[in-house]
Structure 1
């Protein structure tokens, strides 16, 4: 049974905060305009912080703002996105420095921005203002152990649950994004990319899930390979550490293995406006990503820690 936190907000732009343990929040809100969310380190307004304004400017636009400072990081036209007479459902995610918001039932966000200097979000605040009051139903997120019970590892995949219960690999296909999927980055067009892996030529290869393409992509043999059946990291860690070459730090998250049995780790790089996840092969001293049909190697990358 889903637990909801019921919150009423006045027309005063005063945030009401609650703690969060996952990288997303799902909610329904009934308000004519200006449903505001704050993502913060603690239960108060303080830098650093993100703000997501849904249906601002008379219910015509939505924006993402950092540290209460203009200009806004991104702005999109969203006419009529809110309604004072009925609940509208949304989700907001903040994984891997990618802050995004989307409508209930839609995988692709209507607004997204990548922070080059992300911080760990511990609290979410909600408020209304600019002539609007609001009624909110905020969904309590399931914890990682509950997510682990929902999924089992298919035959042929080693490992199952990650070390220490820090995440599980959930089987999916056709562009499906399981609940609590770990967001690894975003494509050049702003679409979220999730941490995924798939089997290929006897190997289990970390890569990226592109939901709108209906598949995950893995890098191997100089090429990008699309996989309609794949696994997605669920309820897992989201701590990315910069490194380079063969310097895999202790505690890096193992994500698969080569056809020869070498452990592969999960990495990501910035490339042509994207933040793309791929495989770190320590013996090669690079992070490989699949991009534009090719396998590309980068000596400087971020690696996912357990």
Structure 2
């Protein structure tokens, strides 16, 4: 995570910072030449990164910039792709570094640090040189690419967490450049003298959505919000115990977002903390933003808790955001699920983080509960052991506790076409999974071990 602190004056002028830190996870079935493009806009050309998996007859993988040779990174990867099975990969980029690797591997196959980095707003996919492909992309429906070397483009998802202290009119812009652009999304928090909030498109009225939000902001207290965008779905949540959705709107023609801007006006000044979900939580990007008021983080940075006896770390997160080294433990019908846990009624309960739903789901009291604030398990190789009942392996990961103090473990099981993560409660001799609004008990399951 990266936190930036900004002061805004009483004037209608945005200060922009880049939100290019992101990642892409996908699975693909192809005989060779699965190509991924990273671009500012929804078209090929310059500037552009390309990542080729299984090129040169499924023997080599490379990163190329602006379609020019030599490659900026390459590795020998014989038989990395298969036409008979779907295989997983990831690509991560921050302000100046791009890496790519295989699902389940923390170490990249390819890495390139760019002295003149590209802002990434779109990702594109294609196959060629004799291959067609079936792709499963995080956040999207499955797609098919033909043997034609023509990219299909999708806007890159992302999210920011903002804290703002202002009496009214805290404005947030989501832009495709480091300045006001056309088109552009604007989120108006506490407008109309702190009585209403809205989403506006391309600085035009009428607003796409407007809701009454009396006393949403406060000049003497930080108020925290999560702003997410995924394939044109813009959502704004208040990050508190209940985490209600304040505003949401689906753009039928979404564009790639590369920068977020903040401002205050109409009699208000603001103090802001902005947290961006970079894929390298402990890294120090060298790219500079155009915001000159960046200072050291205030004590609102997310905390970490180590997992005894292992390399694992529990990291605080919100609104479906997951760090790049989060443990992927399952799969829902619409994408991957990650190992999480959340507090509820005096208990700390393991569950499933679903980025597409912006929540961590836990099972308690016969019901599935969605939590916008939670912790994500990170930096731990995922090893799962089949078991049943109360047969808990000695190296199982203790991940929480009931309200009575009984230790809970992380489990998962196949259920109705999914692999769903939940809590193992030994005294009940079952795994409980949150599914379809219910707490579902399953006597046979897998448990996470160190």
Regarding TM over 0.5, the answer is yes
Name the residue aligned to 1:15: 59
- Which of these residues, 143, 151, 167, is aligned with residue 81 of structure 1? 151
Shift of 1:152: 2.3
**Residue 357 (structure 2) pairs with residue 184 (structure 1):** no
Distance 2:345 2:87 in 1: 45
Shift of 1:82: 6.9
Shift of the 278–44 alpha-carbon distance from structure 1 to 2, 3 Å rule, reads: same
Shift of 1:210: 1.1
Name the residue aligned to 1:68: none
The structure 1 segments of at least 4 consecutive aligned residues displaced by more than 4 Å after TM superposition are 6-11, 27-32, 46-54, 57-61, 105-108
Name the residue aligned to 1:169: 314
Distance 1:268 1:242 in 2: 9
Distance 1:278 1:9 in 2: 34
Distance 2:344 2:53 in 1: 51
Under a length normalisation based on structure 2, what TM-score does the superposition of the two structures give? 0.41
Distance 1:9 1:76 in 2: 17
Distance 1:60 1:15 in 2: 14
Distance 2:54 2:350 in 1: 46
Name the residue aligned to 1:117: none
Counterpart mapping for 1:114-125 below 5 A: none
Contact 2:392 2:426 in 1 (8 A): yes
Contact 1:267 1:287 in 2 (8 A): yes
Under a length normalisation based on structure 1, what TM-score does the superposition of the two structures give? 0.58
Shift of 1:81: 2.8
* 1:212 partner SS: helix
Counterpart mapping for 1:51-130 below 5 A: 51=87, 55-57=126-128, 62-63=133-134, 76-78=143-145, 80-81=150-151
Contact 1:51 1:64 in 2 (8 A): no
Name the residue aligned to 1:286: 430
Shift of 1:55: 1.5
Distance 1:287 1:28 in 2: 46
**Residue 370 (structure 2) pairs with residue 226 (structure 1):** yes
Deviation track 1:212-252 (CA, whole Å, cap 9, x = no partner) reads: 11111100010001101111111113001100000001100
Shift of 1:57: 4.4
Deviation track 1:246-269 (CA, whole Å, cap 9, x = no partner) reads: 000110011111111111000001
Name the residue aligned to 1:112: none
Name the residue aligned to 1:201: 345
Shift of 1:190: 3.7
Shift of 1:179: 1.7
Shift of 1:151: 5.3
Shift of 1:165: 4.4
Name the residue aligned to 2:287: none
Shift of 1:52: 6.4
Name the residue aligned to 1:265: 409
Name the residue aligned to 1:101: none
Shift of 1:76: 2.5
Contact 1:198 1:216 in 2 (8 A): yes
Distance 1:277 1:251 in 2: 18
Distance 1:236 1:168 in 2: 7
Distance 1:243 1:173 in 2: 31
Q: Count matched residues.
A: 217
Deviation track 1:138-160 (CA, whole Å, cap 9, x = no partner) reads: xxx96x998xxx9523xxxxxx2
Shift of the 56–238 alpha-carbon distance from structure 1 to 2, 3 Å rule, reads: same
Give the alignment's Cα RMSD to 1 decimal: 4.3
Q: Unmatched 5+ residue regions in structure 1?
A: 19-26, 33-41, 66-73, 91-104, 109-140, 154-159
Deviation track 1:104-132 (CA, whole Å, cap 9, x = no partner) reads: x9989xxxxxxxxxxxxxxxxxxxxxxxx
Larger Cα Rg: Structure 1 or Structure 2? 2
Name the residue aligned to 1:275: 419
Distance 2:416 2:54 in 1: 43
Shift of 1:207: 0.3
Shift of the 152–12 alpha-carbon distance from structure 1 to 2, 3 Å rule, reads: same
Distance 2:57 2:447 in 1: 39
- Which of these residues, 376, 380, 384, is aligned with residue 240 of structure 1? 384
